[in-house]
Amino acid sequence: MRNNNVSIIGAGLIGSLLGIYLRKKGLEVGLYEKRSDLRDKNNVPEGRSINMALSDRGWKALDRIGLREKVSPMALPMYGRSIHDEHGETSFLPYGKENQAIYSISRRDFNELLINEAESAGVNVFFDHLCEEIDISKTSLRFSYADGQKFSKESDVIIGADGAYSSLRDAMQKQTRLNYKQEYISHGYKELTIPATADGEFAMDPKALHIWPRGMFMLIALPNPDKTFTCTLFLPFEGEKVCFDKINDKSDLESVFRTFFNDAFELMPNLTDEFFNNPTSSLINVECFPWQKNKSLLIGDACHAMVPFFGQGMNCGFEDCFILDELIEKFGTTSWELVFEKFQKIRKPDTDAISQMARDNFVEMRDSVANPKFIIRKKIEAKLHELYPHEWVPLYTMVTFSDMKYSDAYAQGRLQNEIMDKVMSDPRITQNYKDINYEEIIHLIETARMV
Amino acid sequence: MRNNNVSIIGAGLIGSLLGIYLRKKGLEVGLYEKRSDLRDKNNVPEGRSINMALSDRGWKALDRIGLREKVSPMALPMYGRSIHDEHGETSFLPYGKENQAIYSISRRDFNELLINEAESAGVNVFFDHLCEEIDISKTSLRFSYADGQKFSKESDVIIGADGAYSSLRDAMQKQTRLNYKQEYISHGYKELTIPATADGEFAMDPKALHIWPRGMFMLIALPNPDKTFTCTLFLPFEGEKVCFDKINDKSDLESVFRTFFNDAFELMPNLTDEFFNNPTSSLINVECFPWQKNKSLLIGDACHAMVPFFGQGMNCGFEDCFILDELIEKFGTTSWELVFEKFQKIRKPDTDAISQMARDNFVEMRDSVANPKFIIRKKIEAKLHELYPHEWVPLYTMVTFSDMKYSDAYAQGRLQNEIMDKVMSDPRITQNYKDINYEEIIHLIETARMV
């Protein structure tokens, strides 16, 4: 039995990377994308992209196929959060140690590079192929083109890397006993831009991720190589206070921006046009199980779409590819069902954990980072990590600057959180935090770990 | 603006009843069913029907349009559970007071009657209409016929009464921010039959719902007017012990039946044929919200499919129709959005409650009813209800023989359960239960309610 023909649905970041991995294993790989080729310059972006923040797990997956050098020039390091208060004052909160950074990268540029790499590796990439129907028991697919023509294909293996609205998952939902859950958060987002200054420079510090935390809502900005910033505004769709539903004209919009984001507003000459022309997108969390049926598998957002607030969606999807590739390495390309079963079993607790952490982090980003006690808390944790680099690793560091299992990071994070809650409960902590007995805290965490 | 044209998707029990209700309000009603007309005698049943158990909420909904008399002749009263042990001994556990019964009724016969009534009332019923596409913003539908032809329709209002695999819900999942969850239980079911005896009589007591509880699995049987019983076998799909996956031939099947259901086995001459020809069906729980978008609404299983173990799926769907009809009565047929918003807000906590109770009841049916202590517990509760008919109403009675809100029944049930746990924790309860101080128990529940 032939077993080397793999169809990947979706030529986004995850599908393209996976295509390269599998092709390098000697497999015949077809990569099917419903959209047009984004390398075609007539293909205008939709204005709904949040910049990606590439971190350690993502780099590790790129290293596996030697892509770090090609990707580096398009990735800008951000060493911490630059927090903007309502008066335009900023404070800098490092993400980790001195040289640790997450890297801002344009989704489109990155995707173009990966598609080029996939093609060079010998992956057959097909655009304008809408996957209309999948028969999971036969691993057969039917596509339709923009002109209405249909095309059928049989495959040995089908992998759905087709995102939060996956067609393969749809098929599984109808053809198998799939447990499935989708939840929208109450907030939506809109892409905006801060252009380069008149003399062609960055309008703000390009070595930081900028945040304007305003309690129930926030604005963020990530730098691009062309000296612009891609901004994302997160607001509730509807409500009593500031929300998308209540911004209906230029004057509503300016009033919100002048009140809450005045320093950013001064840097956004195209705000009105962008706000009213770019779509308002929603944010979904998807969980399902099993991810596998026979020789079909879901990967990336298709089985675990998460909210973007930990910057891990892409990194987690890349790590999916890495782990899947390791399993194929171990068990070969003839035991797909075994590989897929192992994959979902290993991976599900980790993707559940990062999805939950991503939801938790929304509160941290939009609210807590504006709180002086939170900043002290972060400082204490950074000091603990400096003094006891193995005994105390901040949650952000475990997730972003390591490849430990997300579920372990989550569990450790919870233990540390409980202890930090105790530390912070001292009413005089704002004055006393420099004289804390760090050894005692380490003793507490070690005891907690033994329980 | 025209506002009186309603399209209902699905001519099952709920869709047909709702069609009659709305037609009686003077609305133009189209009822679209993807299956062929089940009144056509060439249309062979699929062998996947669990008999319905009509109870008070269902009768109340039929009373609203004067259908009780027409339905009664096809409904057989079951006054309690007849529990079969492994030696074929039976014990009878009443459902409520002397005259309280739930009514066994064939899904197909009942559906035929409701479709006839809908047509007589002036509902336009269309069969073989597969709803392929719905545009929620335009309230327009596209159907396809078996021959591949398409047909489009605009409507003022769309109601999806199209069950657990609803097309309207599918459309909402793609076009709106629908929170959605589907979960399969580990068990499946298969329809089987106990025919009438050689002299044309019922082979078992027809005034009971028969249960063979066997811990992790069970068999049930409900009587039909033609003196047969429709049986349903519930087994795990897969596992170490008795499960569908492990019954692969006649000898596997007979071994299971002889071991666990020997008295039923003696009454099932067609067991092997039925077992291997009838499909194994799965059991799904569906929750979602919102049920409404603009002038489209989900109702019945389409928004709250539940497992069948409380016998409330149909009754709950009928109650949906009743409550919706009351709201239309109150707010008129020009404020659909208001009516639908009120409907989902009122109804969601109740359908969540009955879905949960249905899952809980699976354990009771397959396991607890075989436990002598459970039977004593039920007797104590029955006595409490007899002595204090208003102060103590068993959960089963609240759900089945009243129309109180499911969510209130659930809350009361939990309080009573806690108290019964205490009562049953007396190690000598098996001997002492006749000398219990009932007044003290009533005092406990009244105190609990005040907290």
Q: Which of residues 214-273 of B touch A (CB under 8 A)?
A: 237
Distance of CA B319 to the CA centre of its chain: 12
Asked if residue B46 has pLDDT above 70, the reply is no
Predicted confidence band of residue B47 (pLDDT cuts 50, 70, 90): low
Q: Report angle CA A128, A130, A131 to the nearest 5 degrees.
A: 145
* pLDDT average, residue stretch B177-193: 96
Q: Which residue of A has its CA nearest to B179?
A: A183
Q: Is a pLDDT exceeding 70 seen at residue A46?
A: no
pLDDT of residue B48: 64
What does the pLDDT read at residue B121?
97
Residues of chain B contacting A183 with CB distance shorter than 8 Å: 179
Q: Cα torsion at B291, B293, B296, B298 (round to 10°)?
A: -10
Residue B44 pLDDT more than 80?
A: no
The span from the CA of A438 to the CA of A381, in Å, is 10
Q: How many beta-carbon pairs below 8 A join chains A and B? A: 30
Q: What is the pLDDT of residue B280?
A: 95
- Is the minimum CB–CB distance between B173 and chain A shorter than 8 Å? yes
Mutation to test the B interface, candidates A34, A176, A177, A280, most B Cβ within 10 Å: A177
B345 touches chain A (CB under 8 A): no
- pLDDT over 70, % of chain B: 98
Flag whether residue A173 sits within 8 Å of chain B, measured between CB atoms.
Answer: yes
Nearest Cα residue to A109 out of A189, A45, A172: A45
Model confidence band, residue A277 (pLDDT cutoffs 50, 70, 90): very high
Q: Is B36 helix (H, G, I), strand (E, B) or coil?
A: coil
Band the pLDDT of A433: cuts 50, 70, 90: confident
Tokens of B149: 């032809």
Mention every residue, 6+ apart, whose C-beta is less than 8 A from residue B436: B380, B423
> What ranges in A238-369 are assigned the alpha helix state H?
250-260, 262-265, 271-277, 301-304, 313-331, 336-366
Nearest to A304 by CA among A361, A345, A350, A339: A350
Residue B72 has pLDDT above 90, yes or no: yes
Give the pLDDT of residue A45: 66
pLDDT at B413 over 90: yes
Residue B390 forms contact with A (CB below 8 Å) = no
- pLDDT value of residue A432: 82
Across the range B362-390, mean pLDDT stands at: 88
CB < 8 Å to A178, chain B: 182, 184
A28 φ, ψ (degrees, to nearest 5): -90, 115
Q: What's the burial of B41, exposed, middle or buried (CB within 10 Å: 0-12/13-18/19+)?
A: exposed
A450 burial level (CB within 10 Å; 0-12, 13-18, 19+): exposed
Yes or no: say if A5 and A27 are a contact pair by the CB < 8 Å rule.
Answer: yes
Token pair of A205 as six digits: 């510090």
Over residues B46-69, the mean pLDDT reads 90
Residue B173: its chain A contacts at CB < 8 A?
Answer: 182
Q: What is the mean pLDDT of chain B?
A: 94
pTM: 0.87
A177 → chain B, closest CA residue: B184
Rounded average pLDDT over A341-354: 98
Closest partner residue to B179 among A173, A178, A184, by Cβ? A184
In our burial notation (b when 16+ CB lie closer than 10 A, e otherwise), range B236-245 reads beeeeebbbe
**Alpha-carbon gap, residue A244 to A188, rounded angstroms:** 8
Work out the minimum CA distance from A181 to partner chain B, whole angstroms: 4
Please give the residue that has the higher pLDDT: either A387 or B435.
A387
Confidence at residue A41, expressed as pLDDT on a 0 to 100 scale: 79
Give rounded-to-5 percent helix, strand, coil for chain A. Answer: 45, 25, 35
Q: Of the ranges B132-136, B148-152, B291-295, which one carries the lowest mean pLDDT score?
A: B148-152
What is the average per-residue pLDDT within B161-180? Answer: 95
A282: nearest CB among B165, B177, B183? B177
pLDDT-derived band at A364 (thresholds 50, 70, 90) equals confident
Residue A168 near residue A142 (C-beta atoms within 8 A): no
In which band, very low, low, confident or very high, does the pLDDT at A47 lie, cut at 50, 70 and 90? low
Touching check for A148 and chain B: CB below 8 Å? no
With cut-offs at 50, 70 and 90, classify the pLDDT of residue A48.
low
Which residue, B333, B346, B341, is CA-closest to B22?
B333
* Residue-level pLDDT at A340: 98
Mean pLDDT across A125-141 = 95
Residue predicted with more confidence, A370 or A94 = A94
Characterize the bridge pairing of strands A157-160 and A296-298: parallel
Length of chain A: 451
Predicted pLDDT of residue B375:
87
B184 touches chain A (CB under 8 A): yes
Residue B1 has pLDDT above 60, yes or no: no
Beta bridge partners of B223: B229
Give A73-126 pLDDT, tens digit per residue.
999 999 999 999 999 999 999 999 889 999 999 999 999 999 999 999 999 999
- CA dist B75 and B96 (Å) reads 18
Q: Which range (A35-49, A436-450, B32-46, B81-95) has the least confidence?
A: A35-49
Q: Strands A28-32 and A124-126, how do they pair?
A: parallel
Closest CA to A120 of A20, A21, A34: A20
Non-local (6+) Cβ contacts of B177 within 8 A are A184, A237, A282, A284
Q: Write the burial class of residue A392 (CB in 10 Å: 0-12 exposed, 13-18 middle, 19+ buried).
A: buried
pLDDT at A176: 94
What's the confidence (pLDDT) of residue B227?
96
- Interface residue of A175, A182, A243 to substitute, partner B, most B CBs within 10 Å: A182
* CB contacts, 8 Å: B237 with chain A: 177
Question: pLDDT tens-digit profile of B131-147?
Answer: 999 999 999 999 998 78
3-state DSSP assignment of residue B161:
coil
Angle (CA) A138-A141-A146 rounded to 5° is 165
Return the pLDDT at A328: 96
Q: How confident is the model at residue A127 (pLDDT cuts 50, 70, 90)?
A: very high
With 0-12 CB in 10 A as exposed, 13-18 as middle and 19+ as buried, what is A191? buried
From A177, A182, A237, residue closest to B180, measured CB to CB: A182
Distance from CA of A3 to the nearest CA of B (A): 26
Determine the Cα–Cα distance for residues B392 and B383; give it in Å rounded to an integer: 9
Rounded CA-CA distance B350/B364 in Å is: 21
Do A184 and B177 make contact, defined as CB atoms within 8 angstroms?
A: yes
Per DSSP, what are the bridge partners of residue B8? B31, B159
CB-closest option in A165, A177, A284 to B184: A177
Where b means 16+ CB within 10 Å and e means fewer, B253-272 reads: beebbeebbebbbebbeebe
Pick from B301, B349, B293: which is nearest to B321 by CA? B301
Q: Which positions in chain B touch A181 (Cβ < 8 Å)?
A: 180-182
Joined tokens for residue A292: 């596998």
Q: Between A179, A182, A183, which is nearest B184 by CB?
A: A179
For chain A, state the CA radius of gyration.
Answer: 23
Mean pLDDT across B391-418 = 96
Mean pLDDT of B215-238: 96
pLDDT at B411 > cutoff 60: yes
